[in-house]
Structure 1
Amino acid sequence: MQSTLDLAKLARAASGKSWWRLSLEALRVRRAPQQVGLSEYFAYGLWSPGLDDVARSRFIGWRKSAALDQALNAPSSRVLANDKLVSYSVLQHQGLPMPEPLATYTASGRTVGRERPLRTLDEVRAYLHEAVYPFYVKPISAGYGRGVLGVSDRDGAELCLMDGKRLAIDELLASFRFAPFGGMLFQRPLRAHPSIQALTGTAAVSCVRFICFVTPSGTQVHTAFWKVATGKNMLDNFSHGDYGNLLAAVDLHSGCIERAIRQLGPGGEVQRHPDTRAEVVGFQLPDWEAAKALVLRASAHFPGLRLQNWDVALCPEGPVLVEINTESELAVPQAISGRGLMDERLKAILGEIEAEDRRHREAVASRG
């Protein structure tokens, strides 16, 4: 991850702007209602000569992103997204496509459905010595890919990971003891759609992130971007470009890729996949209308969460709901597309939600 100073030097060279002008623009957006920080000004491309003051005013910073999440998602409803056993139970009950659960590890024996409950680490160890491979294992309560592993096989006391690395079983079990994870979930691996495999050169899924706002008139998908796996990575996480994966902006209407980046800031834009050299920009995501329809259908079953972030895998059997997230970094998609999130459409969406909240407050007040 590049430092702010490094990004600033690259932005100055790419834009031809003086240090004074860059500093003045950065100060203006920091003081604006959208609260864009100094590092974000450079990382998200607000220095670009193609942006005027109006266009820059549409960009939001991480502080505004966090404020939107706090305002739109009720604390009492966050368990619907933050506890994967709860969210998957909802999806399974509704008959919505999701990764197949194989086993769960919790002291209480909680499960999504009919998968095998594992209540002790000894039971987990015994499970790992059975013919249960391949699988993905993930924390029940965690985000950003923390603690997620793809396991292809076992070799004695070691696990063979999908990225070619090895991990001692004891080392895996140590992560099971981390109380904040709330237990672990084993799932059957998904495979990417054949057209995506041809582009990426791997069967690892590359999820589409759908950013949705649930309004009184229905769910609105506002933004979508594609997390593109590269190399031997078993996950599609970006993490500021540290994993080498790509991010790509998606046209909501067509499902075509408009722009792709390999890192935040100047010089991060790419046209082709680094492994296959296939064109990323212009690629048509498969089953696009079905994926959007699936997200709209699923969103209705998570009341109290009016800002939903869905990860959807595009697979041979069709789109699959991988997970729902809250507390997502809404500012990042702006770096991918080069456009600010706070456009007229989002202002209208937030206005509709605020009007509904005001009516609710007035109704409660009228009852004394």
Structure 2
Amino acid sequence: MISNTLTEESIQRIKKMGSAIINNVLINEAYAQRFNPSSLNTIRIIFFKTKNGTLKAIRMFHRFGASSDTFVDNTSGGGLAAIIDQETGQLIQAYILRGKRVDIDTHPVTERTITGFMIPDWDAKKRAIADLLNEINYLEYGGLDIAFTPEGIKIIEVNTRFPALRSMQLSSPVLIDDEFVEFLRLRGFDRPIPTINPSNLINET
């Protein structure tokens, strides 16, 4: 049961059930709600701590529910995502994951164009994200899920165990970022990749 107000009907239903959990409902800012009003369409920010102690966003994705009757926007739950150009706020390429990445340009239900869409007021949103990362810089790595609402930026959750390893490399390899390579090296991920002697390979053609 989702509503912005607690109606008399809802109160009576709760009385009959004996107990209930009542929680607030977040509503997207207008631009995100237009893509799919049935889901909370969030932004996933994958960040890590640099050598100087600040948190850096290495990837950002905008996620959207893919059907008209879903509350879920994450790709593992059937949603779709679009890579965000962090400089401009443009959605570079939208995609769904169906065993493999399938690129799409428009929302399958509302038919609104996702790829190429410019997130409004991106400079202000980017500053709000930077301020938020400064607030949680006691963390070293994670996937921060946020939503922009009419009341401003809201934190949904933080995943702190190497989230979205596959999707974070859909736009480009993460190891081209020297600061991220240094982050991994300082945490023990600097073991050399073992070499294979080609003569030991079996040709199975």
Same fold (TM over 0.5): yes
What is the rounded CA distance, in whole Å, between the counterparts of 2:3 and 2:87 in structure 1?
36
**Could you tell me the percent identity over the aligned residues?**
20
Q: What letter matches 1:199 in structure 2? A: F
Partner in structure 1 of residue 203 of structure 2:
none
Q: What letter matches 2:92 in structure 1? A: E
2:46 aligns with one of 180, 189, 211? 211
> Does residue 1:258 correspond to 2:86, yes or no?
no
What is the rounded CA distance, in whole Å, between the counterparts of 1:292 and 1:264 in structure 2?
31
Partner in structure 2 of residue 286 of structure 1:
120
Shift of the 235–350 alpha-carbon distance from structure 1 to 2, 3 Å rule, reads: same
Contact 1:199/1:278, CA 8 A, preserved across alignment? yes
Shift of the 293–190 alpha-carbon distance from structure 1 to 2, 3 Å rule, reads: same
Partner in structure 2 of residue 341 of structure 1:
174
Contact 1:208/1:225, CA 8 A, preserved across alignment? yes
What is the rounded CA distance, in whole Å, between the counterparts of 1:229 and 1:300 in structure 2?
29
Instruction: Report how far residue 303 of structure 1 moved.
Output: 4.8
What is the rounded CA distance, in whole Å, between the counterparts of 1:220 and 1:335 in structure 2?
16
Partner in structure 1 of residue 182 of structure 2:
351
Contact 1:308/1:324, CA 8 A, preserved across alignment? yes
What is the rounded CA distance, in whole Å, between the counterparts of 1:264 and 1:341 in structure 2?
22
Contact 1:286/1:314, CA 8 A, preserved across alignment? no
> Does residue 1:134 correspond to 2:21, yes or no?
no
Contact 1:259/1:336, CA 8 A, preserved across alignment? no
| Secondary structure of residue in 2 paired with 1:342 | helix
Gaps of 5+ in 2: 189-205
Gaps of 5+ in 1: 1-127, 136-152, 159-167, 174-183, 359-368
TM-score (norm 1): 0.42
What is the rounded CA distance, in whole Å, between the counterparts of 2:11 and 2:92 in structure 1?
43
Partner in structure 2 of residue 110 of structure 1:
none
What is the rounded CA distance, in whole Å, between the counterparts of 1:203 and 1:192 in structure 2?
10
What is the rounded CA distance, in whole Å, between the counterparts of 2:108 and 2:146 in structure 1?
23
What is the rounded CA distance, in whole Å, between the counterparts of 2:17 and 2:90 in structure 1?
42
Instruction: Report how far residue 273 of structure 1 moved.
Output: 0.2
What is the rounded CA distance, in whole Å, between the counterparts of 1:262 and 1:189 in structure 2?
26
Partner in structure 2 of residue 324 of structure 1:
158
What is the rounded CA distance, in whole Å, between the counterparts of 1:313 and 1:321 in structure 2?
7
Q: What letter matches 2:173 in structure 1? A: G
1:54-203 paired onto structure 2 within 5 Å = 134=3, 154=10, 157=13, 187-200=23-36, 202=37
Partner in structure 2 of residue 179 of structure 1:
none
1:223 aligns with one of 46, 49, 59? 59
What is the rounded CA distance, in whole Å, between the counterparts of 1:224 and 1:267 in structure 2?
17
What is the rounded CA distance, in whole Å, between the counterparts of 1:258 and 1:211 in structure 2?
17
Shift of the 212–267 alpha-carbon distance from structure 1 to 2, 3 Å rule, reads: closer
TM-score (norm 2): 0.71
Contact 2:175/2:181, CA 8 A, preserved across alignment? no
| Secondary structure of residue in 2 paired with 1:226 | strand
| Bigger Cα Rg | 1
